[in-house]
Amino acid sequence: MKVQKLETTFPPQSPKKPISILVVVVIAALVIITGSIGALYYYNSVQSSKQISSLQSSVSTLESQIQSEQKSMIQLEDANGTYPGTNYFTSGSNGSGDGINAEAIYQYANESVVTVTGIQTTTSDFGSQSTEVLGSGFVVVYSNSDYIVTNYHVVQGDSDLSVTFSDGNGYAATVVGSDPYSDLAVLSVKGAPSTEYHPLEIVSSSSLVVGQPVAAIGNPYGLSGSETTGVISALGRTIQDETAGNYSIADVIQVSADINPGNSGGPLFNSYGQVIGITTAIVSGSEGVGFAIPSSTILQELTDLITTGSYNYHAYLGIGTADMSYDLAQALGVKNYTYGVLVESVVTGSPAASAGIVAGSTVITVDGTQYVSGGDIIVSINGTKVIDGDALSTWLQQYALPNQVVQLGVIKPSGSSYSATVSTIQLTLGTRPSLSS
């Protein structure tokens, strides 16, 4: 066979056989090495591919296991209307509400939360005006009957009350009982079948702690079935509500969960999915500062609200107070006591007046705030330290009843200053005057 040599543009050179043999040997070696590398690469690629495939299979299996675990957690047994007893709180919570299984609680409790609507009519110089009021509520069972718990201010003065369940079915409702002092109301729904009711479990709020994760479900701005999460940011607060007259609503829970208009009356949950409060108010213009009436108040009043239509066991002192502070103590000449409440006024004929509690008489200004000085300073009740007005109101809410005798630790005014010692005054608590509904 004749082989035609491919020429180049280089000048022809005489052939040198030893070099040609060397070239052939080198090329052969390169071919062998290249083939080996290629084979090795192919082998490693196959092995890597197998390892990756195996890893992906393991990941898929793990994901399936996690999904199965999550599904089993979400499939909650509610035959008794209660959570199965699993605590979804995790000690690693970062304070943002991540320590609560919001998904599980929502699936368990959302159908128990209702929308409460009514018409409020106001009269002015320009005539009568009707406004639709919208709030939230939740189902409870009492003596084998189903009721709706909501806020008093949601139903106050309403006509054409109705309750709409999560499935969209609405029914007429009536107020069974209410208490403006605690901003609570109980409703009865007309004509709703038993299948609409999914009662929630209410537990005592006495063991709550600051930092505990919570979830709230309600209807903010009419957006039904909305859930938010957060933590308990404070306990033992008091709030002012015009529905409660000039009296404070005491022992209130402060939460970081977003609460908006329309949330009023909705349930606040712990990590077990149990009701620990009823959302009721926000600080106007604030973010992440909401309030809830504690569940212990609901439990304390529920029987009376349903059986008698009201609750009439709020203890009453009959005083107006201001919180003490370091600067106020300095201005008053008080030694060793920078806490407590300064009695600025005493209601005529009240338990405080009968016990000899002294009201203030002289107006002073401290740090831009006016106070009425010269009155008694209450620093304890039944041996419990009274730090401020919140503490006094919370103690009365939790531990006191009308006609109960209590011991007040009081610092009495003495000339232009105050006594350095604490006097004990015995006082018989009264009952708050009734508020018109």
pLDDT at 67: 39
pLDDT at 196 over 80: yes
pLDDT at 87: 55
pLDDT at 71 over 80: no
Q: Which residue from 103, 130, 368 is spatially nearest to 215, judged by alpha carbons? A: 103
pLDDT at 166: 95
Amino acid at site 196: E
The predicted model gives 205-216 an average pLDDT of: 96
Supply φ then ψ for residue 250, to 5 degrees: -100, 165
Chain segment 34-57, per-residue pLDDT in tens: 454 444 444 444 444 444 354 445
pLDDT at 74: 34
pLDDT at 85 over 60: no
Q: What is the pTM of this model?
A: 0.75
Sign of CA dihedral 428, 429, 433, 437: negative
pLDDT at 20 over 60: no
Amino acid at site 266: G
pLDDT at 390 over 60: yes
Count Cα atoms within 13 angstroms, Cβ side, for 306: 18
The yes-or-no answer to whether 96-311 and 315-431 have a common fold is no
Fold of the 96-311 domain: Thrombin, subunit H (2.40.10)
Residue whose tokens read 């320009």 = 126
pLDDT at 72: 37
The predicted model gives 68-95 an average pLDDT of: 40
Annotated catalytic sites, by residue? 153, 183, 264
pLDDT at 242: 72
Q: What is the spatial distance between Cα 386 and Cα 393, in angstroms, rounded to a whole number?
A: 9
Average of per-residue pLDDT values in the chain = 81
pLDDT at 162 over 50: yes
Fold of the 315-431 domain: Pdz3 Domain (2.30.42)
Q: How confident is the model at residue 320 (pLDDT cuts 50, 70, 90)?
A: very high
Chain segment 230-288, per-residue pLDDT in tens: 999 999 999 877 777 678 899 999 999 988 889 999 999 999 999 999 999 887 766 78
Q: How confident is the model at residue 135 (pLDDT cuts 50, 70, 90)?
A: very high
pLDDT at 436: 58
The predicted model gives 146-163 an average pLDDT of: 94
The two tokens of residue 427 are 């006082």
pLDDT at 125: 77
pLDDT at 174 over 80: yes
pLDDT at 98: 54
- When mean pLDDT is compared across 12-16, 144-148, 379-383, the lowest value belongs to 12-16
What does the domain layout of the chain look like in residue ranges?
Answer: 96-311, 315-431
Long-range contacts of 87-90 (CB under 8 A, 24+ apart): 87/271, 87/272, 88/271, 88/272, 88/273, 89/212, 89/213, 89/270, 89/271
Supply φ then ψ for residue 210, to 5 degrees: -65, 135
